[in-house]
Amino acid sequence: MAIIRPFNGLRPQAELAAKVAARPYDVLSSAEAKAAASGNPYAYYHVSKSEIDLPDGTDIHSQAVYEKAAENLQRFIKEGTLFQDAQPCYYIYKLVMDGRSQVGLVCASAITDYNAGIIKKHEFTRPDKELDRINHIKTTRAQTGNVFLAYEDVPELNVVIDHWQQAQAPAYDFTAEDGIQHTVWVVNDANTVQQITTLFAEKVPCTYIADGHHRAASASLVQKEFAEKGMIKSPEEPANFFLTTIFPASQLAILDYNRLVKDLNGHSEADLLSRLDYDFTVEEIGHLPQQPSMLHEFSMYLGGRWYRLVAREGTYTTDPIGILDVTILQNNVLDKLLGIKDPRTDKRIDFVGGIRGLQELVKRVDSGDMKVAFALYPVTIQQLFDIADSGNVMPPKSTWFEPKLRDGLITQVI
C-alpha cells in the first residue's frame, strides 16, 4: 500500500506566490526561462533554471549552475521570499484550465515504494537526465520539482480533501499568465493529516507516475548514495521521500502528442496515400483540421489537405502496448513507410504536444520545415495504468498532461 508523509514545505509568502511560481524546468529552454524571469527577482527560475544568472554559453550541466541554484535558494530563504512551515503539513493543489479542474494532494512519497514498484512507471529514463537532477538535488539539498502521480479514485479521500477546501481559506489563489488558475490549501490539522495518511495506507494499493520519471529516479539514486555514506539516520528523514502531487484518475486529462516528419522517404504524396490504404481506410476531409474522434483514428496533414486514417483490423494487437495508437502509427506508417526505425533518435521526426493545437502542425508543414503531420487520439489514463501494471513502458512521446504543476509553490528540503 502507498506510504506518504506530510512534510515541512518551503514555500513563498502569499503576496509573492504568483511571482515565484514557475513552469517546470524541463518544458522550456534556458532562453525562454530567462525571458520569463526578466524583471522578476522572485521567479523560481533562478533556482530551477539558474543558468539564467550566469554568462551566456555556460554549460547548463556544469557544477557552477547547481551551485548558483543553491545560492539563489538560500537567498530566497534569507530574504524571506520563501519560508518553511514549522510543522509537517499536506497541501491541496487545485488547477483550473479551460473550466476543468483537478485537485491533487502534495505530499512526500516513500522512495521504498518507488524502488519496490508500488509507485509504477511507464517510461524509460536517461542517465544524463538523471544525473542533472541528482546534481541539482545534492547541491541545493532540496527537491524543487514535483513528481506528478495518479491513483484510482478513493471516495473517502475525495470527501476529506473536498471538506478541507470548503472549510478553509486557501494560502494561494492566482491565475498565471497562461490563464491557468492555481489554488493551494495548507492542511495543518494533526487529525486530518493522520486521516489522510491512514487512508492512503489502507485504500491506495499503488500510484502511477504520470509525469516526472527522471525526478523520481534521481531522488531514489540520491537516497541510495546518502544511505551508503551514512548520511541518513532514521527511516523518517526527508531524503527517504520525494516531492509528489497525487491526483485521482477521474480528474486527469491526457492530451494528444502528435508527430511531424521531414520527408516522405522517397515516396510521392500520391504513392504514400496509395500505400496507406493497405492498413488504413483513407478519407480526404479538406483544408480544415479535425481532431481524431476515437481510438485507432488519425488525422494526417499532407500537401495542404487533411485526411482521416482509420486503422484496419489486423494492423494492431490487443496487448497493452500493441493496442496503443502511437504503436499503430509507428509500426504501420513511420517505420513501414517512412523508414523511421527509432523515434527516440531519428532526426527526421519531431513531436508536438496537443496543447499547441493542430494549427502548429499546419504551420510546420506549410513552412516547408516538415512534409507530413499526424495527429493522434490521446492515450487514456486506463491505458497508462494497464501498461504500468504489465511492467511495460510506453513508446516515446506518448502522453502530454495539462495543466502543468508550478515549481516553487512547495519545495521539499532534504
Rounded distance, CA 323 to CA 335, Å?
16
| CB neighbours of residue 16 within 10 Å | 17
Domain shared by 171 and 94, yes or no? yes
Query: For position 181, what pLDDT does the model report?
Result: 97
Among 48-52, 70-74, 127-131, the least confident range: 127-131
> Based on the domain organization, do 266 and 324 belong to the same domain?
yes
192 domain-assigned: yes
- Cβ atoms of residues 358 and 269 within 8 Å: no
Give the pLDDT band of residue 195 (cuts 50, 70, 90).
very high
Q: Are residues 240 and 264 in the same domain?
A: no
Query: Residue 197: inside a domain, yes or no?
Result: yes
Do residue 244 and residue 368 come from a single domain? no
Do 307 and 233 lie in one domain? The reply is no
User: Do 345 and 314 sit in the same domain of this protein?
Assistant: yes
Mean pLDDT of 289-299: 94
How many domains is the chain built from? 2
Name the average pLDDT for the chain.
Answer: 94
Q: Residues 244, 266: one domain?
A: no
* Pair (95, 10) in one structural domain: yes
| Residue environment code for 275-293, b if the CB has 16+ CB neighbours within 10 A, otherwise e | bbeebbebeeeeeebeebe
> Could you tell me if residue 58 is inside a domain?
yes
Regarding whether 172 and 92 lie in a shared domain, the answer is yes
Q: Are residues 136 and 168 in the same domain?
A: yes
Residue 271 domain-assigned (yes or no): yes
Is residue 387 in a domain?
Answer: no
pTM: 0.86
Identify whether 384 is part of a domain. Answer: no
Closest residue by Cα to residue 82 from 142, 10, 18: 10
Alpha helices by DSSP H, 147-268: 155-167, 190-203, 213-228
Percent of the chain whose pLDDT exceeds 70: 100
Position 109 in a domain: yes
pLDDT tens-digit map of 245-281: 999 999 988 888 999 999 999 999 999 999 999 999 9
Instruction: Kindly provide the residue ranges of all beta strands, DSSP E only, lying in 10-162, ordered along the sequence.
Output: 10-12, 82-84, 90-97, 100-110, 119-120, 142-143, 147-151
Do 190 and 281 belong together in one domain? no
- Rounded to an integer, the average pLDDT of 73-97 is 97
Residue 295 and residue 234 share a domain? no
CATH number of the structural domain spanning residue 337: 3.30.1760
Q: Which residues contact 400 (CB under 8 A, 6 or more apart)?
A: 254, 255, 256, 257, 353, 354, 355, 378
For residue 89, being part of any structural domain is answered with yes
pLDDT at 369: 93
pLDDT tens-digit map of 205-229: 999 998 899 999 999 999 999 999 9
pLDDT of residue 299: 97
Q: 155-176: per-residue pLDDT in tens? A: 999 999 999 999 999 999 999 9
Which residue segment(s) compose the domain that 23 sits in?
4-253+402-413
